[in-house]
Structure 1
Amino acid sequence: MICVSFSNEYVSYGQLIKEGNEYIIETVQKLPLTHPFLPENINNPEFTESLTRAFQDILSGLPKPDSYVALVLPSIWFDISIQSTDAGLSEEDQEETLNWKVAKRLGTAFDRKFVQYYPIPSSDTAQDFLTVSYFKEIGKKLLTASQAVGLNINIIDIDLFSAAAAIERLEGIKANERWAVWLIDDQIHDLLVIDQGNFRQYCRFSFADIETYRILHKSSADDISEKIVAELNGIRTFEIESFSAVDRVYFYSHSVDSEFFNMLLTYDIENLKTIDTFEKYKPEKLYEEDGDGIGAMCQFIELLGLMFRKMPKDPE
């Protein structure tokens, strides 16, 4: 299994193999992209060339022959929302209602997108769905670039969701907990809220200046993520010392040289933490050009989330 994670400037990859009953992480590596992996670049020929080059370099860096690919893409490539239908509808009526709502939300882009619906816990009178869509064009470009070198994409996941899957397992998070995953970037930050083992909200935000924040997108009208972001801002400005809106916030970044990210690594806050991705699962070969500390290793957490799709849980 080849696990691949794209960020704006880099592509990370790892290979998981099975020998007998044992799963081994053969390698985890990181490569620079020749063109930024951003939605506004999708029609640029250099973007397509960058994808092809990335898959070529990944294939040449594999310790063992493989073609099965699981892929993580940045949240910015997806439209993420919660849509509701009346409870008790047939599957056909549910799909018709959801398609109508999402078409209204996306407008003319609806016909150019793949749309998927995932049921989530709801009330007695309504059924909620996590709704995820992305442009068919990026799917086509990724398939073309990977298949050109003999690779087959079987799984596409979202960065924060894959990171959350890894964190939940590594930390042994209990089903009754409310927690969040925070992906730090220089300008725009992403937040995923998990409540009692289920998706609750996705949010994009920025810190407008040294004291204020701005919510850029929320997947629903729920105010939970704004409460968390307000507390993140309070911690940033030293106004508060812990979170009350959630039990814990886990943070990580692909920008491991970021001053803000590295400042957070020095904070001693009980329910704000990052994860040593490979403390328990050691790769045979590991990229260490960014260092070997927890701040450098957390950038690969999404890859481990993909690998956990194949790796059985350890017995309790």
Structure 2
Amino acid sequence: MDLLRHLDAFIAVAEERHFGRAAARLQMAQPPLSQQIRRLEGELGVELFARTTRRVDLTPAGEAYLVRARSILGSVDEAGDEARRVAAGVTGHLRIGCVGSATYSLLPRLSRRLATELPGVEFSFRGEMLVADQVAALHDGTIDLALLRPPVLDGTLEVRDLREERLMLAVPSDHPLAGRRQVRVDDLAGVDLIVHSAARRSTMYDVVRGLLADAGVTPRIRHEVGETSTLVTLVAGGLGVAVVPEPVSALAIDGVAYLPLVRPVRTIGLALAHRSERTEPHLERTVAVVEALARSAG
């Protein structure tokens, strides 16, 4: 830090053009200030000031050194400000991955809330991600946070439950079930189903198979898809019905009706996950914003 003190001293003398005034500005005695300038000139091997009995002027070397000295101190101040912003969690970059239903229901409000509460943090988002893909992306660093479906059986991840979402049935508007106020699970016997992909290890696939098995219904699966938007689009096309989390109803597509699914009423969890060793302040502040929004939206 001696160099920074030398630079402060040099700039004060250069701007005041007087050792006495510069010493008063730095709140120090004049002799130590003069000694600092002499040491600085000795280290550089050049004279920075032309001294007379009446005034102190910068030499050409001093003029050039003043430009660089101001730039150095400015960079040091900027570095300190940046370090303080990072420590406070108000700057950085995070990538957030979302399952399909969160993409449509939570992500629009979340992006606005984050922009308001953490304007210095740069966010990017990946929607329509299945849980297995999100877990892999957390490990390879493609995403930093994941809005996903539990359970997540990975001890290296910290998983926080956010809320429970009720399951509903998406049906074509002209389907025989569309006129009902609600649908029982056993009403799905013999009905064509559209489900999330088993091959891509979709959590919703296992949930739907378990729901039907508990009701003694043999599933008649006609289509398996990877994305929720594609699933609802196929429902609109009359190719079958689909069990979906209630927030999917935010994806309003002509030709689709959403009905409560009862007997039994089932829910599916939504959770937030990140690698356990990630404790950066801006990540922790983002987690707090997501948790608060999920509670209010739920």
Smaller-chain TM-score range?
A: under 0.3
TM-score by length of 2: 0.26
More helix by share: 2
Instruction: Pick the structure with greater CA Rg.
Output: 2
Higher RCO (C-alpha 8 Å, min separation 6): 2
More strand by share: 1
